[in-house]
Amino acid sequence: MSDSPQWFDEEAGPVVRPYALIRGRTRSSGDAFDLVATVRAIGDPPGDLGPEQQLILRAAREPISLADLAVELDLPVGVVRVLLGDMRDHGLISVTSPSAGGARSNERILKEVINGLRAL
């Protein structure tokens, strides 16, 4: 019964509550990660990673946003932030914040977005 989540009943949800994954913490070095920050796997993963960390590394082989990652893992954003903060501290992933105002203040990119939307 180790790798599939145990369900007591519908109402209770999975027996392992999200915050158990992060040992009850709600704060980590990942607090400030933007929802659209880019996450990518780096370095060599150690062998003793938990299932969530393995999932994150797999999902982040290609650059992926924090929000997409939370959807993919089906975990609350706050939980993913804590996991990512730890993983970054251990050199497993890099997290690049969207430079605030960088892209949005880029005229060429905004024009590209307008044209892209028109073409949808």
Partner 1 sequence: MDSVLSEDPVALKILIAGGFGVGKTTLVGSISEIKPLRTEEVLSDRGIGVDDLDGVEAKTTTTVAMDFGRITIREGLVVYLFGTPGQERFWFMWDELSYGALGAVVIADTRRLTDCFPSVDYFEQRGTPFVVAVNCFDGAEQHSVDDVRIALDLDDDVPVMLCDVRRRTSAKEVMITLVEHSLRTLTSAN
Classified as helix, coil or strand, 27 is coil
The answer to whether residue 26 forms part of the interface with partner 1 (CB under 8 A) is yes
CB of 106 to partner 1, least distance (A): 8
The answer to whether residue 44 forms part of the interface with partner 1 (CB under 8 A) is no
Look at residues 41, 37, 40 and name the one whose alpha carbon lies nearest to residue 77.
37
Look at residues 46, 56, 98, 63 and name the one whose alpha carbon lies nearest to residue 81.
56
Q: For partner 1, which is the closer residue by CB, 22 or 57?
A: 22
Contact residue for partner 1 among 7, 12, 54, 105 (CB under 8 A): 105
Distance CA 21, CA 85 (A): 13
Q: State the number of binding residues for partner 1 (CB under 8 A).
A: 40
Contact residue for partner 1 among 70, 84, 87, 92 (CB under 8 A): 70
The answer to whether residue 65 forms part of the interface with partner 1 (CB under 8 A) is yes
Distance CA 57, CA 39 (A): 9
Q: For partner 1, which is the closer residue by CB, 35 or 47?
A: 35
Distance CA 59, CA 47 (A): 17
Distance CA 67, CA 86 (A): 17
- Binding residues for partner 1 (CB under 8 A): 18, 24, 26-27, 34-38, 63, 65, 67-68, 70-71, 74-79, 94, 96, 98, 100-101, 103-105, 107, 109-114, 116-118, 120
